[in-house]
Amino acid sequence: MTEHIRITEVGLRDGLQNQPHPVSTDGKLELARALILAGVRQLETASFVHPKAVPQMADAAEITAGLPVDARMDYMALVPNLKGYERARAAGYRRVAVVLASTDTFNLRNIKMTRDEAEAACRDVLAAAKNDGVAVRAYVSGALACPYDGPTPVAVVQQLCERMIAAGAVDIAISDTIGAGNPRQIQQILTPLLREHDPALFSLHLHDTRGTALAMAWAGLECGVRHFDASVGGLGGCPFAPGATGNVATEDLVHLFHGAGFDTGIDLDRLYDAVAIAERITAQPLGGRYTQWRRSQERRAQATACAPQDNRA
């Protein structure tokens, strides 16, 4: 039986949050429908943050109301605090995500809290969610490096993961927010954690700023992780992390895992179509290495079809 890899598509939230031009609600919903048609079943749809902090997420409630009602779908929203959690609950979410960055500086720039204060805010959400029967993911952000303070000690990441597990998080997303990590760091972080905990507790959220995300995903796979985040066309970039570019492109991750004999449930052809929609609604060129390769094949085929034919006998 083919082993399944679970991919959470984060393009609608992490991918769009830092776009320089406003993306319409209708455009976001068109992209969501295309991703669902492609077979995406885990979708991070919005962030319930103050619109002044992240203007692209001002329509979080409207996006949620317009999403297809589909029992197969696992929709998730990011919440920075209890107020955001209450808004997400009112919108009907049964899964939310909190963020805990690795350093004081990153937390202060991101949510205007120290790390200890951010951890307390996460615990507040986790406690409320437990009472409500809502599942909570905890992002450990800047897990491989902080954009302000440099490389993150492995022990710090492991401690934060352990604390979030103890507080009730059902999914720990180890996040290379600025794409500064390498495969060895992934192994160093995951190996002791997976000795103590079920691998199903962990996800990898990788940005491809320096072109190492696929190698790091494979290192995580070899450690035992089977849950990864990705963003259609490589959309992304954190507004509070200078230099952070997009997440690993969903199509690249799907292509990698399919080629290695794993199943993701995602159709690459339809995902390729979704990249074109993402390009149109953001008015920018997008696409991971798979998209670039496929477009080059299409150009070559078109050039061959248009070339003069030599009909000499």
- The maximal CA–CA distance of the chain, rounded, in angstroms, is 81
Q: Is residue 73 part of a domain?
A: yes
| Mean pLDDT of all residues in 25-52 | 97
Q: Write out pLDDT tens, residues 99-156.
A: 999 999 998 987 888 999 999 999 999 999 999 999 999 999 999 999 899 999 999 9
DSSP letter string over 117-150? HHHHHHHHHHHHHHHHT-EEEEEEETSSEETTTE
122 as an active site residue: the answer is: no
Q: Is residue 292 part of a domain?
A: yes
Residue 47 CA, distance from chain mean position: 12
Task: Reply yes or no on whether the pLDDT at 81 is more than 90.
Answer: yes
Q: Structurally, how many domains does the chain consist of?
A: 1
CB 103 within 8 A of CB 76: no
Question: Which residues are within 8 A (CB) of 277 and not within 5 positions of it... i.e. 6 or more apart?
Answer: 30, 31, 34
How high is the pLDDT of residue 311? 61
The angle at the Cα of 289, spanning 285 to 295, to the nearest 5 degrees, equals 65
Q: Is residue 125 part of a domain?
A: yes
CB 174 within 8 A of CB 190: yes
Q: Is residue 313 part of a domain?
A: no
Task: Reply yes or no on whether the pLDDT at 309 is more than 80.
Answer: no
How high is the pLDDT of residue 290? 95
Q: Is residue 311 part of a domain?
A: no
* 3-state class (DSSP) for residue 171: strand
In whole angstroms, how large is the CA radius of gyration of the chain? 20
The angle at the Cα of 282, spanning 277 to 286, to the nearest 5 degrees, equals 70
Phi and psi of 44, rounded to 5°?
Answer: -85, 115
How high is the pLDDT of residue 310? 61
CB 48 within 8 A of CB 60: yes
CA–CA dist 25, 291 (Å, integer):
25
**Sign of the Cα pseudo-torsion (143, 251, 59, 55, in order):** positive
C-alpha dist (Å) from residue 20 to 26, 179, 231, 257, 290: 17, 20, 17, 32, 25
Binning pLDDT at 50, 70 and 90, where does residue 58 land?
very high
Q: Which of 214, 249, 216, 257 is nearest to 233 (CA)?
A: 249
How high is the pLDDT of residue 312? 58
Q: Is residue 39 part of a domain?
A: yes
Domain that holds residue 46: 6-306
C-alpha dist (Å) from residue 177 to 50, 174, 213, 253: 21, 9, 11, 17
Q: Is residue 1 part of a domain?
A: no
Binning pLDDT at 50, 70 and 90, where does residue 91 land?
very high
Q: Which of 146, 161, 223, 238 is catalytic?
A: 238
**129 token code pair:** 């969610």
Residue 127 CA, distance from chain mean position: 24
What percentage of the chain exceeds 90 in pLDDT?
84
- CATH code for the domain in which residue 280 is found: 3.20.20.70
Q: Write out pLDDT tens, residues 219-276.
A: 999 999 999 999 999 998 655 555 556 899 999 999 999 999 999 999 999 999 999 9
Q: Is residue 312 part of a domain?
A: no
Q: What angle in degrees, to the nearest 10, is found between the helix axes of 104-111 and 115-132?
A: 60
